[in-house]
Amino acid sequence: MKKQLSTYIALTQFCKVHDVERTFLEDLSDIGLIEIVEDQGQAMLSEDMISIAERLLRLRNDLSLNVSGLEAVFHLSSQLQELRSELLYVKRRLRFYEKE
């Protein structure tokens, strides 16, 4: 099944628009922070990956982080989001039992 290309952007276009080296995105892909897909020999980013790549690019530029630093910050941020979700779930359950 062929993926719908309207939700993808060429890697070269992303690099041009954001003035970033292709190797930076390939490094992010190598460590699993983003996924680059191939379609007819052209590297592409999905909408989800575009937002993640933009976030990582801002972190790199704002904090002067290398790829390893970005990986650490990204994983800590993901863990924090998971903990927030778990806390919200526990609070909702607690409210449910407090009403009884």
Architecture of domain 5-99: Orthogonal Bundle (1.10)
What is the average per-residue pLDDT within 10-36? 96
pLDDT value at 75 more than 90: yes
Total-model pTM:
0.78
Cα–Cα distance, 23 to 15 (Å, whole number):
10
Predicted confidence (pLDDT) at residue 58 exceeds the cutoff of 70: yes
For CA atoms 39, 54, 74, 88, the dihedral sign is negative
> For all residues of the chain together, what is the average pLDDT?
92
- Residue 6 has what pLDDT? 57
Q: Residue 59 pLDDT > 80, yes or no?
A: yes
The string of DSSP codes covering 4-58 is -GGGEEEHHHHHHHHT--HHHHHHHHHTTSS--EEETTEEEEEHHHHHHHHHHHH
